Amino acid sequence: MSYSDGQIWMIIVIMGVATYLIRFSFLGLIGDRELPEWALRHLRYTPVAVLPGLVAPLVLAKDASGQMDPTLILAAITTVTVGWWRKGMFPGVAAGVGTYLILGALF
């Protein structure tokens, strides 16, 4: 399916307005108000729920030959293990990046 230049720009404008309205609903409309405790409790879990959904497809993606990259998988396993063991995101990310760089240099 091919789109004309006008259709592409219309899609870009509509998506920009939609994104702005979504963000404005939180920042502009309720940004200066105190949220109820139940909403704050649920919002605490947002990064934990979103991050795996963003990272998993990148780690488990297949390359052109149809195989997954074992370096990415081992780095992801290291990241999760160290993050859980040390109870922190930064040690896990540092261990995952280190594992990825070391394995990338070896293979």
> How high is the pLDDT of residue 45?
86
Token pair belonging to 12:
């870009």
Please give the chain's pLDDT, 107 residues, in tens: 799 999 999 999 999 999 999 988 877 777 778 888 998 898 888 888 888 888 888 888 888 888 998 999 999 999 999 999 999 889 999 999 999 999 999 98
75: exposed, middle or buried (Cβ count in 10 Å: 0-12, 13-18, 19+): buried
Count of CA atoms in the C-beta half-sphere (13 A) of 88: 5
Whole-angstrom Cα distance, residue 50 to residue 26?
Answer: 17
> How high is the pLDDT of residue 78?
95
